[in-house]
Amino acid sequence: MKVASVLIPLPVPEAFDYEAPEGMTLARGDQVAVPLGPRLIRGVVSEVFETTGSNRRLKSVDSRLDDPALPAGVMDFVEWAGRWTLSPPGEMAATALKGLRAPSPRPERKVRRVGDRQPARATPARTGVLEALGERAMAGADLARSAGVSSGVIKGLIDEGVLEIVEIAAEAAFDRPDPDHAPATLNGDQAAAAAALVDGVTGGGFRPFLLDGVTGSGKTEAYLEAIARVLRADPAAQILILLPEIALTQALIERITARFGAAPAEWHSGVAPPRRRQVWEAVVAGRCNIVVGARSALFLPFVNLRLIVVDEEHDSSFKQEEGLVYHGRDLAVARARIEKAAVVLASATPSLETLWNAQAGRYDWLKLGARHGVAVMPDIELLDLRQHTPDPQTWLSQPLRLAVAETLARGEQTLLFLNRRGYAPVVLCRVCGHRLTAPDTDSWLVEHRYTGRLVCHLTGFSMARPKQCPSCGAEDSLVSVGPGVERVEEEVRQLFPEARTAVFSSDTVPDAKSARALIQRMTDGEIDILVATQAAAKGHNFPRLTLVGVVDADLGLRGGDLRAAERTYQLLAQATGRAGRADRPGRAILQTWTPEHPVLQALAAGDRDAFVEAEMAEREAAALPPFGRLAAIIVSSENAAAVEKVAADLAQAIPNAERLEVYGPADAPLALVRGRRRKRLLVRADRDVNLQAFLRAWLTRVKIPASVRLTVDVDPYSFL
């Protein structure tokens, strides 16, 4: 008997076996309908094998679907990713099918002649229609317009059988990129990096690269040249470029279109579902060469993937924490290895993991030193707030105010950076000291003045600002503590009423379109002072921007998570890298209460190596990533007793292992989220320990009731 193992989109650890009926040809990657309980569901065949004398009674595969089979590389990838992240492989496969599950674009309806049939009565209007149409098929409205008649004339001809309506399936055309359309002129470094990339990417086989260069050094030019060479070597090659933020895609798409004379396909949550389906179908048919997308584009069914670029590879947005938990950068490297393709990790501030791989020679390390053109790195000054303390209820020190005024007077732009949304991060009662929190979550409510609401940034819960303290009932006792971007903008407006100001945060620019509009206004010089969160610190190029003020450089250094210092360094390097990109020198001022902190010292000295060395030494001493490995297990439920029970059972069931420790169970730092109690266990292992095998062995020992959710996060980034 023939058996097909089928991956189905359910939280089960393995494929389900079905009998392959006589006469049905099945192969790995085929899409099938299989019975599950009373209904049929879609699955993907992972394996077909012969078995003899099995006494198991297997159900039969119902039918093979005529949808495209998933290519071998995608199958290998989803199975590997499932094992690596301890996620159900069927759910990984379902992710790869998402584009196909989107609704089809509506077919286009057009009219055309039926043979050479003539109208019974030839009026001038009817003759005009037939002449305008000729041999073509046209949309009815277009035809009426070009013949200068009403739609009734066309309808009459259809009724008479002279014209007919045809439906044409909307198949998106993706123009072939032309590698020689508009080559860039590269400087020495860029040309050398591009040449090295080219040798690697066209040499065949898996090759990882770190493309390391300060903001503005021309990383994009270098990898676009590498893409050009890939396309010259193989016009059918497919290339995937991953970006951390949708807001960055438009600028890159325009550059690619200008460079290759053809727009790439776009893949992220902002793309309409019918369009996503077209991209999916074009990718699996090999009709689409370049895709620019978010991390989920890694699951697209490429058939000839030759190169993956992960731009801004250090960005923590590549880590997906809801649903399937995975890191887009790590999975990109895995997909490239499976496809025997090249992968380029590009950044001005590479992650410690990537630098560690580059230092050890596992990744080819390409450095772009000088900034492109004449621009130089900005001067970075640490401004000691102990000596220049702002007035009460204000956040900008005197020297920073002066610098903004000077910049305004020169007609140049200022970016004030504060990575905090809203008006005030905390609202408290001055009578009883109560801090307002969300009712079902342990996080403070953030005041938003634009919307007049108090918002939980974790769950999105919001409420109107109450008149009375919910704890002691005192009237008008609530005060806003600390600044968010809205509050800094309020101060700026009072100080510089003539200046044109704007706020850039996920509240003021909720989608890619509004982000694009604001970025354009900034680029066009229509904004003098932009107050922004990290959303504006990434990848944008504002030629008139010459001053960056970091309102609170200490933010992010506080708090105990593993990557706090690294993230702060990256963010500040990116934010200050915004200044002075064109021909004007830039200046960056960092307000801090702790100018002696090594991260800030390294930043002020422009000394990335010093920062990396200090941070690596600390991680190595504690055997933390990249020198060791971590995994978090979060147990959560609305039933607090069930959480306690499962956490205790897990603690009892820890397998013996060497060079590995388990911490916890402990209350997660946010012990209550959306009404669910949360407990956390943290595993630290040496790098040579098979962490996934340990976790699998451990988790099979404990029975998890249906009321409890267990989330495994391999290599956690968020320690909430």
> Which residues are within 8 A (CB) of 311 and not within 5 positions of it... i.e. 6 or more apart?
219, 220, 223, 241, 242, 243, 244, 248, 252, 346, 347, 539
Minimum CB distance to Zn ion, residue 440 (Å): 20
Strand ranges for 360-516 from DSSP E: 364-368, 379-384, 413-417, 426-429, 446-448, 453-455, 462-464, 478-481, 501-504
Q: For residues 242 and 436, which CB has a smaller minimum distance to Zn ion in the complex?
A: 436
Cis amide bond preceding 89, omega within 30: no
Q: For residues 376 and 479, which CB has a smaller minimum distance to Zn ion in the complex?
A: 479
Q: For residues 167 and 476, which CB has a smaller minimum distance to Zn ion in the complex?
A: 476
SS3 of 334-396: the string is HHHHHHCCEEEEEECCCCHHHHHHHHCCCCEEEEECCCCCCCCCCEEEEEECCCCCCCCCCCC
Identify which of 229, 236, 218, 220 has the alpha carbon closest to the alpha carbon of residue 196.
Answer: 229
Report the distance separating Cα 354 and Cα 342, nearest Å: 15
Identify which of 334, 248, 280 has the alpha carbon closest to the alpha carbon of residue 96.
Answer: 280
3-class DSSP state for residue 24?
A: coil
Report the distance separating Cα 449 and Cα 464, nearest Å: 11
Q: For residues 131 and 476, which CB has a smaller minimum distance to Zn ion in the complex?
A: 476
Minimum CB distance to Zn ion, residue 481 (Å): 14
Q: For residues 203 and 470, which CB has a smaller minimum distance to Zn ion in the complex?
A: 470
Q: For residues 468 and 700, which CB has a smaller minimum distance to Zn ion in the complex?
A: 468
319-320 and 63-64: which strand pairing?
unpaired
Minimum CB distance to Zn ion, residue 427 (Å): 11
Cis amide bond preceding 626, omega within 30: yes
Report the distance separating Cα 187 and Cα 178, nearest Å: 22
Query: Nearest 5°: CA angle at 533, between 528 and 537?
Result: 80
> Which residues are within 8 A (CB) of 716 and not within 5 positions of it... i.e. 6 or more apart?
630, 631, 632, 682
Q: For residues 65 and 481, which CB has a smaller minimum distance to Zn ion in the complex?
A: 481
Other Cβ atoms less than 10 A from the Cβ of 691: the count is 22
Q: For residues 429 and 603, which CB has a smaller minimum distance to Zn ion in the complex?
A: 429
Reading the block at residue 412, the tokens are 């140049």
Minimum CB distance to Zn ion, residue 430 (Å): 8
Q: For residues 341 and 454, which CB has a smaller minimum distance to Zn ion in the complex?
A: 454
Minimum CB distance to Zn ion, residue 472 (Å): 3
Other Cβ atoms less than 10 A from the Cβ of 317: the count is 16
Minimum CB distance to Zn ion, residue 475 (Å): 10
Minimum CB distance to Zn ion, residue 435 (Å): 10
Report the distance separating Cα 599 and Cα 610, nearest Å: 9
* Paired strand residues for 463: 454
Report the distance separating Cα 379 and Cα 502, nearest Å: 25
Q: For residues 258 and 472, which CB has a smaller minimum distance to Zn ion in the complex?
A: 472
Minimum CB distance to Zn ion, residue 317 (Å): 38
Q: What is the CA radius of gyration of the chain?
A: 29
Binding residues: 429, 432, 456, 469, 472
305-311 and 342-347: which strand pairing?
parallel
Q: For residues 435 and 513, which CB has a smaller minimum distance to Zn ion in the complex?
A: 435
Report the distance separating Cα 1 and Cα 3, nearest Å: 7
Binding residues for Zn(2+): 429, 432, 456, 469, 472
> Which residues are within 8 A (CB) of 252 and not within 5 positions of it... i.e. 6 or more apart?
220, 241, 243, 292, 311
Minimum CB distance to Zn ion, residue 468 (Å): 8
Distances (CA, A) of 205 to 92, 305, 687: 25, 11, 25
> Which residues are within 8 A (CB) of 109 and not within 5 positions of it... i.e. 6 or more apart?
139, 140, 165, 166, 167, 168
Q: For residues 133 and 436, which CB has a smaller minimum distance to Zn ion in the complex?
A: 436
Helix/strand/coil percentages in the chain, nearest 5? 30, 25, 45
Q: For residues 391 and 476, which CB has a smaller minimum distance to Zn ion in the complex?
A: 476
Minimum CB distance to Zn ion, residue 459 (Å): 23
DSSP string of 309-329? EEETTT-GGGEE-SSS-EEHH
Site residues for Zn ion per CB under 5 A: 429, 431-432, 434, 469, 471-472, 474
Minimum CB distance to Zn ion, residue 445 (Å): 14
Q: For residues 162 and 454, which CB has a smaller minimum distance to Zn ion in the complex?
A: 454
Q: Own/partner pairs for 691-696, CB < 8 Å, 24+ apart?
A: 691/629, 691/631, 691/660, 692/83, 692/84, 692/86, 694/655, 694/657, 694/660, 695/86, 695/631, 695/633, 696/86
Minimum CB distance to Zn ion, residue 442 (Å): 19
Minimum CB distance to Zn ion, residue 466 (Å): 10
Minimum CB distance to Zn ion, residue 546 (Å): 46
512-523 and 249-260 helices cross at what angle (nearest 10)? 70
Element (H, E) at 660: strand 660-673
